[in-house]
A = this chain, B = another copy of it.
């Protein structure tokens, strides 16, 4: 039985969609037990569910609340109460679609960092023309150092190898030119660390090419990763909405699009981030899965699946091993 904590209060569509997604996960996975954390009035809806324990948390961290402040003032909020359950060893993993900064801060403060990890990072899986790839850090850190970037690459590689069974993941640094020497000071310094490592490091990658599926782990500072993540969503949305607008101007085009409906649906599924579940916060002592703020039931169900896989495949231990192995090498 895998025990997963779900923050019922987090996300733009909480609590309704979070509850629905939790229910779907319980139906789908028979070896799943859930701790649902949230306001008592919300939890009522789940009082008759099987394989569930309800944990009351009357406070909620707002989506735009500064993480540090929330951590000081709202220790009884669902995010932090949920993480405490993980810390106490009652559960195997934690899922929240709430304030990702607060989840990251709480994860680091309550669970602590894995020994040797400088800064935990968010590893987001994204679709490409070929196989999905990992973008790390997707937003846990700003003002990263070269050594941070190197650890992001290492952790991203372990995540992809263990959870997604990717062999010898190709690791690349996000930069503004493929050639060595192109980039800012951070990228140039990180390049040397990667070059000297045993990772399957393939050099720089330009943002234009990350969706082509030629690399498996794209490494960058969390400010840039977060900008990229949100920009990709923004562009895809704008492209689709402009297309719709033009189609609406012509009855013929509207009819044509109706005929193409099946293909459009398959296409949408392919670029749908909800299929990939949540993004783990790698480097903390526990399986913390950050789901998209706009998660609906499908996204939550898939995030719970990633949480279960992380526990089953002992992701935290694998990262611990990789980091300590690398530290030993450095000390030599």
- A interface with B by C-beta (< 8 Å): 64, 66, 128-129, 139, 142-143, 174, 176-179, 181, 183-185, 187, 206-212, 221-224, 226-228, 230-243, 245-247, 249-250, 252-264, 266-267, 270-271
Contacts and interface: CB of A to CB of B under 8 A. Distances in A.
**Interface SS of chain A: helix, strand, loop or mixed?**
helix
A271 B260 CA distance: 22
A143 B185 contact: yes
A212 B210 CA distance: 24
A215 B27 CA distance: 46
A183 B264 CA distance: 36
A43 to B, nearest CB: 30
Contacts of A66: 181
A222 B187 CA distance: 14
Nearest to A232: B235
A250 B262 contact: yes
Given A176-B142, A207-B227, A227-B224, A256 B260 contact: yes
Contacts of A210: 231, 234
B64 A177 contact: yes
Contact of A264 (B234, B246, B254, B271): B246
A174 B227 contact: yes
A262 B236 CA distance: 21
A226 B223 CA distance: 14
Contacts of A236: 235, 239
Contact of A263 (B176, B228, B237, B246): B246
Given A176-B223, A211-B238, A235-B236, 11 more contacts: A174-B227, A206-B230, A207-B234, A210-B234, A227-B228, A231-B231, A231-B232, A239-B239, A242-B267, A242-B270, A256-B261
Contacts of A258: 256
A137 to B, nearest CB: 11
Contacts of A249: 263, 266
Contacts of A243: 263-264, 267
A200 to B, nearest CB: 23
Given A64-B177, A234-B210, A239-B236, A250 B227 contact: no
Nearest to A181: B66
A39 to B, nearest CB: 25
